[in-house]
Structure 1
């Protein structure tokens, strides 16, 4: 059970973490169950629980959402405190028993916006705040991805991503760039942000476990390093210190303090930006 905190006083935790998992039409029921099982198993892993216990408060707050198109973002398991195996087991049981809710295709921007709102309106005060996005396809609909990412970063949140690539490379990003580069250019942001890739050589469950351990064990500040959460100002990270950044094999000029890279132009129509997706 969650620890008691007086009304109006936020409960302190080491990390506020939203798992924002792809529940769109490209994920069939078997894949959705496999995906949920991966998160449930990861939270029960001894290495994850040890990372949780190593924090100042010895507990984190976790919520799990699934997302589809721009009108489809759903809280599958609302905020729970995780401080030991009983908490993790209860979270996993709730996750695996919940019905499917998301539909349509691939508004990563609205998933980030929804996750940001969940963090900013919950009853916790985390030393760190992270949105963990996983998906097998590119941004398609909804508000601009740059807006959603920068809004989260400005609020003190770091966005990490897991790109899930199927046989043959799977879906690609705008301009036919690899999906993981699209996530690196457009999706992730904030201090310490990173992308990991799951494919045939690196199974989803293994990569997910490594990603969650990294997110929980990392003691660095999140977001833009601003005094948003009352924790204290952080020194600018190295990623803000230069005017250029290497993305793949190309070097792009930075735009302001944007922690990402200059993105390729996305065509208004065509395979990379399909129009008129309907609910299944």
Structure 2
């Protein structure tokens, strides 16, 4: 960046090659170089800007003009209004990116956010409904603060559920209580606005299961009724071994044909087919029904 040697005060933009971001500066009107744009849009047209991994805004840039890098061992380097995002680049190598993102808040009060990248990073998030820390796969870009590297880090930051389950006769004996088995490989099934688990089918015709949810044990009522819509954009229909495990799970892939074969962790033996990207064939396999 060259301010020039004139006496004018002109608002201009230049491309910072170290931070890969278009930055405003004051140009004196004489001298300078070609890295001098009238607007940010003009700067972006000529120079490829760094894609921010932050869910909103751009990473913090220090006085040197470089992006402020943090890390799991030293997140306190970020300014008070920023938080340390540990993600991955969009390149195939998935280089770890540790930067200070704007908008620091309480991670325990934020919803699960899988992000918009293509990486598969094992992380933990705090589930406000169950008040427990659970595992999920982070895409590396665009997530929020409710994203912990380890289970212990999540549990030390967010309160767990220490309450005791009280068995109160709230329903008639004709209702059947069953313990809900979460069939999703990562995270929790999709819930509707009434906190009902959203069930689906191979044809994407959903069923909802009305259930009385004890936060600790996820008890369900077997009272099922129909609804007609498809899983949310970031969910996919998991087809399990029974109706109760055929639900909308988080982690829909942009290209399911490139997903690795996963047999699951259940006890069922379901005949299924998977696409082998190497042989370019759909081949049979046995799915366990969960995971």
TM-score with structure 1 setting the length? 0.25
Between structure 1 and structure 2, the one with the greater Rg is 2
User: 1 or 2, which has the higher helix percentage?
Assistant: 1
TM-score with structure 2 setting the length? 0.24
